[in-house]
Structure 1
Protein backbone atom coordinates (compact mmCIF):
# COMPACT_ATOMS: atom_id res chain seq x y z
CA UNK A 1 0.00 0.00 0.00
CA UNK A 2 1.14 3.57 -0.66
CA UNK A 3 -0.02 7.17 -0.43
CA UNK A 4 -0.70 9.46 -3.38
CA UNK A 5 2.63 11.15 -2.72
CA UNK A 6 4.50 7.81 -2.75
CA UNK A 7 2.79 6.89 -6.00
CA UNK A 8 3.83 10.19 -7.60
CA UNK A 9 7.46 9.81 -6.53
CA UNK A 10 7.63 6.26 -7.86
CA UNK A 11 5.99 7.35 -11.09
CA UNK A 12 8.47 10.19 -11.57
CA UNK A 13 11.35 7.78 -10.96
CA UNK A 14 10.01 5.75 -13.88
CA UNK A 15 8.99 2.61 -11.98
CA UNK A 16 5.47 2.37 -13.45
CA UNK A 17 3.06 4.18 -15.78
CA UNK A 18 -0.26 5.92 -15.21
CA UNK A 19 -2.29 2.77 -16.02
CA UNK A 20 -0.61 0.49 -13.49
CA UNK A 21 -2.70 -0.57 -10.49
CA UNK A 22 -1.67 -0.05 -6.88
CA UNK A 23 -3.25 -0.41 -3.42
CA UNK A 24 -4.53 2.54 -1.39
CA UNK A 25 -4.15 3.34 2.28
CA UNK A 26 -7.09 4.45 4.42
CA UNK A 27 -6.13 8.12 4.00
CA UNK A 28 -6.61 7.87 0.22
CA UNK A 29 -9.58 5.55 -0.01
CA UNK A 30 -10.84 2.19 1.11
CA UNK A 31 -7.81 0.18 2.24
CA UNK A 32 -6.88 -2.55 -0.18
CA UNK A 33 -8.88 -1.03 -3.03
CA UNK A 34 -6.90 -0.96 -6.27
CA UNK A 35 -6.82 2.13 -8.46
CA UNK A 36 -4.71 3.43 -11.29
CA UNK A 37 -2.75 6.65 -10.88
CA UNK A 38 -4.92 8.29 -13.55
CA UNK A 39 -8.11 7.37 -11.69
CA UNK A 40 -6.66 8.58 -8.41
CA UNK A 41 -5.70 11.93 -9.95
CA UNK A 42 -9.12 12.30 -11.59
CA UNK A 43 -10.89 11.63 -8.28
CA UNK A 44 -8.65 13.70 -5.97
CA UNK A 45 -7.09 16.18 -8.36
CA UNK A 46 -8.22 19.24 -6.40
CA UNK A 47 -6.52 17.93 -3.25
CA UNK A 48 -3.23 17.02 -4.88
CA UNK A 49 -0.30 19.51 -5.01
CA UNK A 50 0.02 19.53 -8.80
CA UNK A 51 -0.32 22.06 -11.57
CA UNK A 52 -2.86 20.92 -14.14
CA UNK A 53 -2.27 22.07 -17.70
CA UNK A 54 -4.61 21.14 -20.60
CA UNK A 55 -2.96 19.30 -23.46
CA UNK A 56 -4.19 17.61 -26.60
CA UNK A 57 -4.80 13.88 -26.53
CA UNK A 58 -2.01 12.10 -28.32
CA UNK A 59 -1.94 8.63 -29.78
CA UNK A 60 0.17 5.77 -28.52
CA UNK A 61 3.89 6.36 -28.54
CA UNK A 62 6.01 4.66 -31.13
CA UNK A 63 8.90 2.36 -30.28
CA UNK A 64 11.48 5.07 -31.05
CA UNK A 65 9.77 7.58 -28.76
CA UNK A 66 9.50 5.01 -25.97
CA UNK A 67 13.22 4.27 -26.34
CA UNK A 68 14.06 7.98 -26.13
CA UNK A 69 11.97 8.30 -22.97
CA UNK A 70 13.72 5.30 -21.40
CA UNK A 71 17.13 6.79 -22.20
CA UNK A 72 16.12 10.15 -20.75
CA UNK A 73 14.88 8.58 -17.51
CA UNK A 74 18.04 6.51 -17.19
CA UNK A 75 20.19 9.61 -17.67
CA UNK A 76 18.23 11.60 -15.08
CA UNK A 77 18.38 8.76 -12.55
CA UNK A 78 22.13 8.53 -13.13
CA UNK A 79 22.52 12.24 -12.40
CA UNK A 80 20.58 11.73 -9.17
CA UNK A 81 18.09 14.54 -9.79
CA UNK A 82 14.31 14.50 -9.54
CA UNK A 83 13.58 16.72 -12.51
CA UNK A 84 10.31 17.59 -14.17
CA UNK A 85 8.30 14.72 -15.61
CA UNK A 86 5.16 14.96 -17.68
CA UNK A 87 2.40 12.75 -16.29
CA UNK A 88 -0.28 12.16 -18.90
CA UNK A 89 -3.85 11.25 -17.98
CA UNK A 90 -7.21 11.95 -19.66
CA UNK A 91 -6.82 15.39 -21.33
CA UNK A 92 -4.49 16.52 -18.50
CA UNK A 93 -0.78 16.82 -17.85
CA UNK A 94 0.26 16.87 -14.18
CA UNK A 95 3.50 18.72 -13.27
CA UNK A 96 4.52 19.18 -9.60
CA UNK A 97 5.32 22.84 -8.94
CA UNK A 98 8.08 22.07 -6.44
CA UNK A 99 10.06 20.03 -8.97
CA UNK A 100 9.77 22.71 -11.64
CA UNK A 101 11.21 25.24 -9.18
CA UNK A 102 14.03 22.88 -8.21
CA UNK A 103 14.77 22.32 -11.90
CA UNK A 104 15.02 26.08 -12.42
CA UNK A 105 17.38 26.51 -9.47
CA UNK A 106 19.63 23.61 -10.40
CA UNK A 107 19.80 24.57 -14.06
CA UNK A 108 20.09 28.35 -14.02
CA UNK A 109 21.35 29.50 -10.60
CA UNK A 110 24.57 27.56 -9.97
CA UNK A 111 25.72 29.67 -7.04
CA UNK A 112 22.77 28.70 -4.80
CA UNK A 113 22.64 24.98 -5.51
CA UNK A 114 24.36 24.41 -2.16
CA UNK A 115 21.14 25.26 -0.25
CA UNK A 116 20.28 22.40 2.11
CA UNK A 117 17.88 23.99 4.58
CA UNK A 118 16.02 27.30 4.65
CA UNK A 119 12.99 28.63 6.50
CA UNK A 120 10.01 28.97 4.17
CA UNK A 121 9.24 32.60 5.14
CA UNK A 122 12.89 33.63 4.82
CA UNK A 123 13.03 31.95 1.43
CA UNK A 124 9.98 33.89 0.24
CA UNK A 125 11.36 37.17 1.59
CA UNK A 126 14.72 36.66 -0.09
CA UNK A 127 13.03 35.66 -3.32
CA UNK A 128 11.05 38.92 -3.41
CA UNK A 129 14.33 40.78 -3.08
CA UNK A 130 15.91 38.78 -5.93
CA UNK A 131 12.93 39.59 -8.13
CA UNK A 132 13.28 43.34 -7.44
CA UNK A 133 17.02 43.18 -8.10
CA UNK A 134 16.39 41.50 -11.45
CA UNK A 135 14.06 44.30 -12.53
CA UNK A 136 16.56 46.98 -11.49
CA UNK A 137 19.51 45.22 -13.15
CA UNK A 138 17.58 45.00 -16.40
CA UNK A 139 16.59 48.67 -16.18
CA UNK A 140 20.20 49.71 -15.54
CA UNK A 141 21.35 47.56 -18.46
CA UNK A 142 18.92 49.25 -20.85
CA UNK A 143 19.95 52.76 -19.73
CA UNK A 144 23.67 51.95 -19.95
CA UNK A 145 23.27 50.33 -23.38
CA UNK A 146 21.45 53.38 -24.72
CA UNK A 147 24.15 55.67 -23.32
CA UNK A 148 26.97 53.67 -24.88
CA UNK A 149 25.19 53.50 -28.23
CA UNK A 150 25.10 57.31 -28.23
CA UNK A 151 28.81 57.53 -27.44
CA UNK A 152 28.30 58.78 -23.90
CA UNK A 153 30.36 57.82 -20.87
CA UNK A 154 28.86 55.98 -17.87
CA UNK A 155 29.92 56.76 -14.29
CA UNK A 156 28.88 54.88 -11.13
CA UNK A 157 28.74 55.81 -7.47
CA UNK A 158 29.53 52.74 -5.33
CA UNK A 159 28.29 52.65 -1.74
CA UNK A 160 29.43 50.27 0.99
CA UNK A 161 27.05 48.25 3.19
CA UNK A 162 26.98 50.86 5.97
CA UNK A 163 25.94 53.54 3.49
CA UNK A 164 23.11 51.33 2.27
CA UNK A 165 21.85 50.75 5.82
CA UNK A 166 22.01 54.49 6.54
CA UNK A 167 19.88 55.29 3.49
CA UNK A 168 17.21 52.63 4.04
CA UNK A 169 15.13 55.05 6.16
CA UNK A 170 14.79 57.65 3.41
CA UNK A 171 13.72 56.43 -0.03
CA UNK A 172 14.25 59.81 -1.68
CA UNK A 173 17.85 60.02 -0.47
CA UNK A 174 18.41 56.43 -1.55
CA UNK A 175 17.24 57.16 -5.10
CA UNK A 176 19.55 60.15 -5.35
CA UNK A 177 22.69 58.46 -3.98
CA UNK A 178 22.50 55.19 -5.90
CA UNK A 179 21.58 56.54 -9.36
CA UNK A 180 24.35 56.12 -11.97
CA UNK A 181 25.03 59.29 -13.93
CA UNK A 182 25.36 59.23 -17.71
CA UNK A 183 27.41 61.97 -19.38
CA UNK A 184 29.39 62.72 -22.52
CA UNK A 185 32.72 64.36 -23.29
CA UNK A 186 30.76 67.58 -23.78
CA UNK A 187 30.22 67.65 -20.00
CA UNK A 188 33.42 69.69 -19.85
CA UNK A 189 31.19 72.48 -21.18
CA UNK A 190 28.36 73.10 -18.66
CA UNK A 191 25.95 74.42 -21.29
CA UNK A 192 26.09 71.10 -23.20
CA UNK A 193 26.11 68.71 -20.24
CA UNK A 194 23.98 65.56 -20.53
CA UNK A 195 21.26 65.09 -17.85
CA UNK A 196 21.81 62.37 -15.25
CA UNK A 197 19.59 59.29 -15.20
CA UNK A 198 17.77 58.46 -11.95
CA UNK A 199 17.28 54.77 -11.08
CA UNK A 200 15.72 53.54 -7.84
CA UNK A 201 17.80 51.68 -5.29
CA UNK A 202 16.38 48.53 -3.73
CA UNK A 203 16.41 47.99 0.03
CA UNK A 204 16.97 44.38 1.02
CA UNK A 205 15.07 42.54 3.76
CA UNK A 206 16.69 42.82 7.23
CA UNK A 207 19.79 40.66 7.58
CA UNK A 208 20.41 40.30 3.85
CA UNK A 209 23.43 41.88 2.15
CA UNK A 210 22.14 43.53 -1.06
CA UNK A 211 25.50 43.28 -2.80
CA UNK A 212 25.80 39.57 -2.03
CA UNK A 213 22.34 38.89 -3.43
CA UNK A 214 23.04 41.10 -6.43
CA UNK A 215 26.06 38.89 -7.16
CA UNK A 216 23.77 35.86 -7.02
CA UNK A 217 21.45 37.55 -9.49
CA UNK A 218 24.36 38.38 -11.80
CA UNK A 219 25.39 34.72 -11.66
CA UNK A 220 21.93 33.78 -12.87
CA UNK A 221 22.16 36.35 -15.66
CA UNK A 222 25.37 34.82 -16.98
CA UNK A 223 23.66 31.45 -17.33
CA UNK A 224 20.76 32.71 -19.41
CA UNK A 225 20.32 33.88 -22.98
CA UNK A 226 19.62 37.60 -22.70
CA UNK A 227 17.62 39.82 -20.36
CA UNK A 228 14.23 38.96 -21.88
CA UNK A 229 14.77 35.28 -21.16
CA UNK A 230 15.76 36.17 -17.60
CA UNK A 231 12.58 38.18 -17.04
CA UNK A 232 10.28 35.48 -18.42
CA UNK A 233 11.91 32.71 -16.41
CA UNK A 234 11.75 34.63 -13.14
CA UNK A 235 8.08 35.47 -13.72
CA UNK A 236 7.29 31.80 -14.27
CA UNK A 237 9.31 30.86 -11.19
CA UNK A 238 7.48 33.40 -9.06
CA UNK A 239 4.09 32.07 -10.20
CA UNK A 240 5.14 28.53 -9.30
CA UNK A 241 6.58 29.64 -5.97
CA UNK A 242 3.28 31.29 -5.01
CA UNK A 243 1.38 28.05 -5.71
CA UNK A 244 3.66 25.46 -4.17
CA UNK A 245 3.76 24.16 -0.60
CA UNK A 246 6.67 26.11 0.98
CA UNK A 247 7.51 23.45 3.57
CA UNK A 248 7.46 20.70 0.98
CA UNK A 249 9.57 22.86 -1.34
CA UNK A 250 12.21 23.34 1.37
CA UNK A 251 12.18 19.63 2.24
CA UNK A 252 12.44 18.41 -1.34
CA UNK A 253 15.09 20.98 -2.27
CA UNK A 254 17.14 19.90 0.74
CA UNK A 255 16.87 16.23 -0.21
CA UNK A 256 17.81 16.85 -3.84
CA UNK A 257 20.74 19.16 -3.18
CA UNK A 258 22.08 17.07 -0.30
CA UNK A 259 22.89 14.36 -2.84
CA UNK A 260 25.61 16.61 -4.27
CA UNK A 261 27.34 16.64 -0.87
CA UNK A 262 28.66 20.14 -1.52
CA UNK A 263 31.18 21.38 1.07
CA UNK A 264 32.13 24.71 -0.52
CA UNK A 265 30.46 27.45 -2.51
CA UNK A 266 31.55 26.98 -6.12
CA UNK A 267 31.74 30.72 -6.83
CA UNK A 268 33.01 32.18 -3.56
CA UNK A 269 35.10 29.27 -2.21
CA UNK A 270 33.56 29.70 1.23
CA UNK A 271 33.16 26.58 3.37
CA UNK A 272 29.53 25.56 3.91
CA UNK A 273 30.04 22.33 5.84
CA UNK A 274 27.11 22.94 8.22
CA UNK A 275 23.53 24.13 7.94
CA UNK A 276 24.30 27.32 9.88
CA UNK A 277 27.18 28.16 7.55
CA UNK A 278 24.93 27.63 4.54
CA UNK A 279 22.22 29.96 5.84
CA UNK A 280 24.75 32.61 6.87
CA UNK A 281 26.44 32.41 3.49
CA UNK A 282 23.15 32.75 1.58
CA UNK A 283 22.15 35.73 3.74
CA UNK A 284 25.47 37.46 3.05
CA UNK A 285 26.97 37.14 6.55
CA UNK A 286 29.90 35.10 5.21
CA UNK A 287 32.51 36.80 3.05
CA UNK A 288 31.93 36.65 -0.70
Structure 2
Protein backbone atom coordinates (compact mmCIF):
# COMPACT_ATOMS: atom_id res chain seq x y z
CA UNK A 1 0.00 0.00 0.00
CA UNK A 2 1.38 3.37 -1.01
CA UNK A 3 0.83 5.80 1.88
CA UNK A 4 1.16 9.57 1.52
CA UNK A 5 1.61 11.52 4.78
CA UNK A 6 0.79 15.24 4.62
CA UNK A 7 2.33 17.38 7.35
CA UNK A 8 5.48 15.33 7.90
CA UNK A 9 7.28 18.30 9.44
CA UNK A 10 5.06 18.59 12.52
CA UNK A 11 5.49 16.71 15.80
CA UNK A 12 2.89 14.05 15.02
CA UNK A 13 4.25 13.45 11.54
CA UNK A 14 7.79 13.12 12.89
CA UNK A 15 6.71 10.70 15.62
CA UNK A 16 4.85 8.56 13.08
CA UNK A 17 7.76 8.44 10.63
CA UNK A 18 10.18 7.50 13.42
CA UNK A 19 8.00 4.62 14.60
CA UNK A 20 7.39 3.42 11.04
CA UNK A 21 11.14 3.41 10.35
CA UNK A 22 11.74 1.17 13.38
CA UNK A 23 9.43 -1.39 11.78
CA UNK A 24 10.93 -0.87 8.30
CA UNK A 25 7.65 0.58 7.03
CA UNK A 26 8.09 3.09 4.24
CA UNK A 27 5.79 6.10 4.13
CA UNK A 28 5.93 8.89 1.57
CA UNK A 29 6.21 12.15 3.49
CA UNK A 30 5.26 15.64 2.34
CA UNK A 31 6.14 18.69 4.41
CA UNK A 32 4.24 21.96 4.54
CA UNK A 33 5.16 24.20 1.59
CA UNK A 34 6.47 27.69 2.28
CA UNK A 35 3.25 29.22 0.98
CA UNK A 36 1.11 26.93 3.14
CA UNK A 37 -1.37 24.27 2.06
CA UNK A 38 -3.22 25.63 -0.98
CA UNK A 39 -6.35 23.82 -2.29
CA UNK A 40 -4.86 23.12 -5.72
CA UNK A 41 -1.97 21.27 -4.06
CA UNK A 42 -4.37 18.48 -3.13
CA UNK A 43 -4.91 17.74 -6.82
CA UNK A 44 -1.19 17.94 -7.56
CA UNK A 45 -0.24 15.60 -4.73
CA UNK A 46 -2.85 13.00 -5.61
CA UNK A 47 -2.06 13.18 -9.31
CA UNK A 48 1.69 12.91 -8.80
CA UNK A 49 1.97 10.32 -6.04
CA UNK A 50 -1.16 8.30 -6.89
CA UNK A 51 -1.37 6.99 -3.32
CA UNK A 52 -3.54 4.14 -2.10
CA UNK A 53 -4.00 5.97 1.19
CA UNK A 54 -3.59 9.58 2.32
CA UNK A 55 -2.98 10.49 5.96
CA UNK A 56 -3.89 14.13 6.44
CA UNK A 57 -1.85 15.71 9.25
CA UNK A 58 -1.51 18.99 7.36
CA UNK A 59 -3.11 21.19 10.03
CA UNK A 60 -2.19 19.20 13.12
CA UNK A 61 -0.35 22.09 14.80
CA UNK A 62 -3.01 24.71 14.12
CA UNK A 63 -5.82 22.43 15.26
CA UNK A 64 -4.38 20.43 18.14
CA UNK A 65 -1.60 22.58 19.63
CA UNK A 66 -2.44 26.19 18.90
CA UNK A 67 -6.22 25.83 18.64
CA UNK A 68 -6.42 28.65 16.08
CA UNK A 69 -10.03 29.62 15.43
CA UNK A 70 -9.85 32.82 13.37
CA UNK A 71 -12.07 32.71 10.24
CA UNK A 72 -9.26 33.04 7.68
CA UNK A 73 -7.27 30.14 9.10
CA UNK A 74 -10.36 27.94 9.39
CA UNK A 75 -11.37 28.77 5.84
CA UNK A 76 -7.91 27.80 4.52
CA UNK A 77 -8.18 24.47 6.32
CA UNK A 78 -11.69 23.90 5.02
CA UNK A 79 -10.79 24.59 1.40
CA UNK A 80 -7.74 22.33 1.39
CA UNK A 81 -9.45 19.47 3.23
CA UNK A 82 -12.57 19.60 1.07
CA UNK A 83 -10.44 19.45 -2.06
CA UNK A 84 -8.53 16.51 -0.62
CA UNK A 85 -11.76 14.67 0.23
CA UNK A 86 -13.06 15.25 -3.29
CA UNK A 87 -9.80 14.07 -4.85
CA UNK A 88 -9.55 10.90 -2.75
CA UNK A 89 -13.16 10.03 -3.50
CA UNK A 90 -12.58 10.42 -7.23
CA UNK A 91 -9.36 8.38 -7.17
CA UNK A 92 -10.71 5.66 -4.88
CA UNK A 93 -7.97 6.37 -2.34
CA UNK A 94 -8.48 5.84 1.39
CA UNK A 95 -8.34 9.05 3.43
CA UNK A 96 -7.50 9.19 7.15
CA UNK A 97 -8.44 12.48 8.78
CA UNK A 98 -7.93 13.71 12.33
CA UNK A 99 -10.77 15.15 14.40
CA UNK A 100 -11.21 15.91 18.08
CA UNK A 101 -13.40 16.02 21.16
CA UNK A 102 -14.32 19.54 20.06
CA UNK A 103 -17.17 18.02 18.06
CA UNK A 104 -18.96 17.58 21.41
CA UNK A 105 -20.38 20.32 23.65
CA UNK A 106 -18.76 18.93 26.82
CA UNK A 107 -21.95 18.73 28.90
CA UNK A 108 -21.86 14.95 29.28
CA UNK A 109 -20.39 13.71 32.56
CA UNK A 110 -19.07 10.39 31.24
CA UNK A 111 -16.56 9.85 28.44
CA UNK A 112 -17.96 10.42 24.96
CA UNK A 113 -18.43 7.51 22.58
CA UNK A 114 -18.77 7.47 18.80
CA UNK A 115 -22.54 7.06 19.24
CA UNK A 116 -23.01 10.36 21.08
CA UNK A 117 -24.54 13.25 19.20
CA UNK A 118 -22.10 15.84 17.89
CA UNK A 119 -22.69 19.37 19.15
CA UNK A 120 -19.55 21.42 18.46
CA UNK A 121 -18.35 23.67 21.25
CA UNK A 122 -16.80 26.37 19.05
CA UNK A 123 -15.66 27.35 15.51
CA UNK A 124 -12.87 24.78 15.33
CA UNK A 125 -15.18 22.05 16.59
CA UNK A 126 -17.74 23.12 13.99
CA UNK A 127 -15.09 22.74 11.28
CA UNK A 128 -14.12 19.28 12.52
CA UNK A 129 -17.76 18.20 12.56
CA UNK A 130 -18.49 19.52 9.06
CA UNK A 131 -15.37 17.89 7.61
CA UNK A 132 -16.29 14.60 9.27
CA UNK A 133 -19.74 14.71 7.65
CA UNK A 134 -18.25 15.62 4.28
CA UNK A 135 -15.77 12.75 4.45
CA UNK A 136 -18.40 10.18 5.41
CA UNK A 137 -20.78 11.36 2.70
CA UNK A 138 -18.35 11.70 -0.19
CA UNK A 139 -15.52 9.23 0.42
CA UNK A 140 -16.53 5.67 1.21
CA UNK A 141 -12.96 4.57 2.02
CA UNK A 142 -12.26 6.71 5.07
CA UNK A 143 -11.18 6.67 8.71
CA UNK A 144 -11.87 9.50 11.14
CA UNK A 145 -9.64 9.47 14.22
CA UNK A 146 -10.80 11.69 17.07
CA UNK A 147 -8.33 12.59 19.81
CA UNK A 148 -8.71 14.34 23.15
CA UNK A 149 -5.78 16.45 24.45
CA UNK A 150 -2.81 15.80 22.16
CA UNK A 151 0.49 16.84 23.76
CA UNK A 152 3.89 17.30 22.14
CA UNK A 153 7.15 19.03 23.03
CA UNK A 154 7.02 21.77 20.39
CA UNK A 155 7.34 25.40 21.43
CA UNK A 156 4.05 27.24 21.75
CA UNK A 157 2.03 24.14 22.59
CA UNK A 158 0.09 23.79 25.85
CA UNK A 159 2.69 21.56 27.55
CA UNK A 160 5.60 23.85 26.66
CA UNK A 161 3.66 26.87 27.91
CA UNK A 162 2.86 25.22 31.24
CA UNK A 163 6.45 24.07 31.84
CA UNK A 164 7.84 27.48 30.88
CA UNK A 165 5.47 29.26 33.26
CA UNK A 166 6.44 26.88 36.09
CA UNK A 167 10.15 27.43 35.53
CA UNK A 168 9.62 31.20 35.59
CA UNK A 169 7.79 30.93 38.92
CA UNK A 170 4.57 32.40 37.57
CA UNK A 171 1.24 31.73 39.28
CA UNK A 172 -0.75 29.49 36.97
CA UNK A 173 -4.38 30.25 36.16
CA UNK A 174 -6.08 26.92 35.55
CA UNK A 175 -9.69 25.99 34.66
CA UNK A 176 -11.74 24.07 37.20
CA UNK A 177 -13.15 20.66 36.21
CA UNK A 178 -11.76 20.65 32.68
CA UNK A 179 -11.56 16.93 31.88
CA UNK A 180 -9.87 15.03 29.11
CA UNK A 181 -7.31 12.39 28.17
CA UNK A 182 -3.74 13.73 28.09
CA UNK A 183 -2.38 11.90 25.04
CA UNK A 184 1.35 12.11 24.21
CA UNK A 185 2.01 12.53 20.52
CA UNK A 186 4.05 9.30 20.44
CA UNK A 187 0.98 7.39 21.66
CA UNK A 188 -1.17 8.99 18.96
CA UNK A 189 1.44 8.00 16.37
CA UNK A 190 1.34 4.41 17.68
CA UNK A 191 -2.42 4.33 17.18
CA UNK A 192 -2.21 5.75 13.66
CA UNK A 193 0.51 3.28 12.64
CA UNK A 194 -1.56 0.37 13.97
CA UNK A 195 -4.54 1.55 11.92
CA UNK A 196 -2.35 1.85 8.81
CA UNK A 197 -1.06 -1.70 9.21
CA UNK A 198 -4.54 -3.18 9.41
CA UNK A 199 -5.73 -1.16 6.42
CA UNK A 200 -2.73 -2.52 4.54
CA UNK A 201 -4.11 -6.00 5.23
CA UNK A 202 -7.37 -4.96 3.53
CA UNK A 203 -9.33 -5.18 6.78
CA UNK A 204 -12.88 -3.74 6.36
CA UNK A 205 -12.47 -1.21 9.19
CA UNK A 206 -13.56 2.09 7.67
CA UNK A 207 -15.44 4.46 9.98
CA UNK A 208 -15.08 6.82 12.94
CA UNK A 209 -12.94 6.00 15.96
CA UNK A 210 -11.75 7.76 19.11
CA UNK A 211 -8.64 7.52 21.23
CA UNK A 212 -7.36 8.99 24.46
CA UNK A 213 -4.53 7.71 26.64
CA UNK A 214 -5.65 6.16 29.92
CA UNK A 215 -6.97 7.53 32.17
CA UNK A 216 -9.14 10.64 31.88
CA UNK A 217 -8.25 13.36 34.38
CA UNK A 218 -8.63 17.07 35.04
CA UNK A 219 -6.23 19.61 33.60
CA UNK A 220 -5.33 20.73 37.13
CA UNK A 221 -4.45 17.16 38.15
CA UNK A 222 -2.38 16.76 34.99
CA UNK A 223 -0.49 20.00 35.65
CA UNK A 224 0.20 18.89 39.22
CA UNK A 225 1.60 15.60 37.90
CA UNK A 226 3.88 17.53 35.53
CA UNK A 227 4.99 19.72 38.45
CA UNK A 228 5.89 16.74 40.62
CA UNK A 229 7.86 15.18 37.77
CA UNK A 230 9.82 18.42 37.29
CA UNK A 231 10.52 18.68 41.01
CA UNK A 232 11.85 15.12 40.98
CA UNK A 233 14.17 16.04 38.10
CA UNK A 234 15.47 19.10 39.94
CA UNK A 235 14.01 21.50 37.37
CA UNK A 236 11.77 23.07 40.02
CA UNK A 237 12.69 23.91 43.61
CA UNK A 238 9.18 23.30 44.92
CA UNK A 239 5.47 23.53 44.27
CA UNK A 240 4.22 26.24 41.94
CA UNK A 241 1.22 28.33 42.99
CA UNK A 242 -1.91 28.15 40.86
CA UNK A 243 -5.32 29.79 40.87
CA UNK A 244 -8.35 27.74 39.88
CA UNK A 245 -11.09 29.65 38.06
CA UNK A 246 -14.45 28.48 36.68
CA UNK A 247 -14.07 26.91 33.26
CA UNK A 248 -16.52 29.30 31.59
CA UNK A 249 -14.62 32.35 32.86
CA UNK A 250 -11.23 31.49 31.36
CA UNK A 251 -10.76 32.91 27.81
CA UNK A 252 -7.90 30.49 27.08
CA UNK A 253 -10.30 27.53 26.90
CA UNK A 254 -13.06 29.26 24.96
CA UNK A 255 -14.46 27.04 22.22
CA UNK A 256 -13.33 23.85 23.94
CA UNK A 257 -15.65 21.27 25.54
CA UNK A 258 -15.42 21.22 29.33
CA UNK A 259 -15.52 17.43 29.17
CA UNK A 260 -13.13 16.27 26.44
CA UNK A 261 -12.82 12.70 27.72
CA UNK A 262 -13.16 10.10 24.96
CA UNK A 263 -13.89 6.39 25.14
CA UNK A 264 -11.43 4.23 23.18
CA UNK A 265 -13.51 1.06 23.45
CA UNK A 266 -14.56 0.86 19.79
CA UNK A 267 -10.97 1.29 18.59
CA UNK A 268 -9.85 -1.47 20.94
CA UNK A 269 -12.65 -3.84 19.88
CA UNK A 270 -12.09 -3.34 16.14
CA UNK A 271 -8.31 -2.86 15.92
CA UNK A 272 -7.16 -4.43 19.18
CA UNK A 273 -5.37 -1.21 20.15
CA UNK A 274 -5.24 -0.92 23.93
CA UNK A 275 -4.94 2.50 25.60
CA UNK A 276 -1.63 3.25 27.26
CA UNK A 277 -1.26 5.24 30.45
CA UNK A 278 -0.26 8.85 29.89
CA UNK A 279 1.46 8.84 33.30
CA UNK A 280 3.97 6.23 32.18
CA UNK A 281 4.70 8.25 29.02
CA UNK A 282 5.06 11.64 30.68
CA UNK A 283 8.80 11.30 31.53
CA UNK A 284 9.69 10.67 27.88
CA UNK A 285 7.57 13.61 26.76
CA UNK A 286 9.34 15.92 29.23
CA UNK A 287 12.70 14.54 28.09
CA UNK A 288 11.84 15.63 24.56
CA UNK A 289 10.76 19.03 25.82
CA UNK A 290 14.12 19.66 27.54
CA UNK A 291 16.29 18.30 24.72
- TM-score, length of structure 2 as denominator length: 0.23
Which has the larger helix fraction?
1
- TM norm structure 1: 0.23
